[in-house]
Amino acid sequence: MAFNLQQIEELYVELRKHLGPVVCAALEDETVTDIKCSDGQVWVTYHRRGNVNTGAVLSEDDRRLALNVMASLLSKKINAESPSLSGELPLTGDRVQGFVPPISAPAFYIRRHAPEIFTFHDYVEKGILLPWQVKVIREHIQARSNIVFSGATGSGKTTLLNTALDEIRSSKEHVVIIEDTKEIKCKCPNVSFLLTNEDKPLQRVIADAMRVKPERLIIGETRDKAGLDLLRAWQTGHSGGFTTVHASSAAGVFQRFAQFCQEAGVPPQWLLIQSTIVLIVHMEMTPAGRRCTAVEEVRRDGLAEHIPIALTRLGPP
């Protein structure tokens, strides 16, 4: 069922009543990236400070009723027969994941879009990146290197990708951006945004993107067999691209792309991986907050036909 704007606003009024003042304030805070409430306690993740227990508690009834309103906003249902809820909330675009019994007690996780693009100066000021790391990343952006931003969920990969993309905001190159949900921000004048969906998976959208002559191809998150298509696209004249990949380390990126190849029905394409990916920037959530823990260049000398692929771990000059 489709709602008009007034009905959506009325649903948001009801949603805010069940979420309570602490969650509502977090939803208005530009520095908040995630909000979690599973056992009643409200946890908030800040871009610069990391995870914080707010001390607020939502009752099981409020959590359940909030999930019902979120489901209505998404034109879906959440109940015992369909106990999982996933989607982007209208107006805000915030991504929600919810659960009810029998999967778990009523719980919701909200991933927010960062409304601001952080500059490299911001990253250095907060200790997330070191000056030499910024220098290396900038040099590779200008050199049109293919850059992979790796890390776990919530480590800050996409936010850093946005910052890197902002470095070419004055470029007239045709930048094509593909993503599942609208998280990437781009101020380039010549940009095309493409979204995947159930009928158009990432692999097919990459094929479509090749027909519009991208000069920089940006993938919000590379996964499954589409990873092989991205490597082939980057190899055939579409350099200067960025993507994010879930990996536990910079070296783990190679294993992930090997897995993508296997999911596409071919053996790991080590030569293709090594000759295509130029720089890996690895992010982690540490006790001190988000940190860039590795900036590594892929060695080009002595191309490997099998793992391990050589990495040059960069450090201060």
Task: Please give the pLDDT value at position 307.
Answer: 46
**Residue 169 tokens, joined:** 């905001």
Give the start-to-end residue ranges of the domains of the chain. Answer: 5-111, 120-313
Mean model confidence pLDDT for the chain: 89
Domain 5-111 CATH class label: alpha beta
pTM for the full predicted model: 0.77
Report the CATH superfamily, name and number, of domain 120-313. P-loop containing nucleotide triphosphate hydrolases (3.40.50.300)
Residue type, 298: V
Mean pLDDT of 10-31: 92
On whether the CB atoms of residues 273 and 231 are closer than 8 A, the answer is yes
Ramachandran quadrant class, 50 (left: phi over 0; alpha: psi -120 to 50; beta: rest)? left
SS3 readout for the chain: CCCCHHHHHHHHHHHHHHHHHHHHHHHHCCCEEEEEECCCEEEEEECCCEEEEEEEECCHHHHHHHHHHHHHHCCCCCCCCCCEEEEECCCCCCEEEEECCCCCCCEEEEECCCCCCCCHHHHHHCCCCCHHHHHHHHHHHHCCCCEEEEECCCCCHHHHHHHHHHCCCCCCCCEEEEECCCCCCCCCCCEEEEECCCCCCHHHHHHHHHHHCCCEEEECCCCCCHHHHHHHHHHCCCCCCEEEEECCCCCHHHHHHHHHHHHCCCCCCHHHHHHHCCEEEEEEEECCEEEEEEEEEECCCCCCCCCCCCEEECCCC
Name the band, by pLDDT with cuts 50, 70 and 90, for residue 304.
Answer: very low
Q: What is the pLDDT of residues 84-133, one digit of tens each?
A: 999 888 888 888 999 999 999 999 999 887 656 789 999 999 899 999 99
Kind of pairing, strands 242-246 and 311-313? unpaired
Amino acid letter, residue 66 = A
Q: How confident is the model at residue 305 (pLDDT cuts 50, 70, 90)?
A: very low
For residues 44-59, average pLDDT: 88
* The pair of three-digit structure tokens given for residue 20, joined into one six-digit string: 């309570």
pLDDT of residue 243: 97
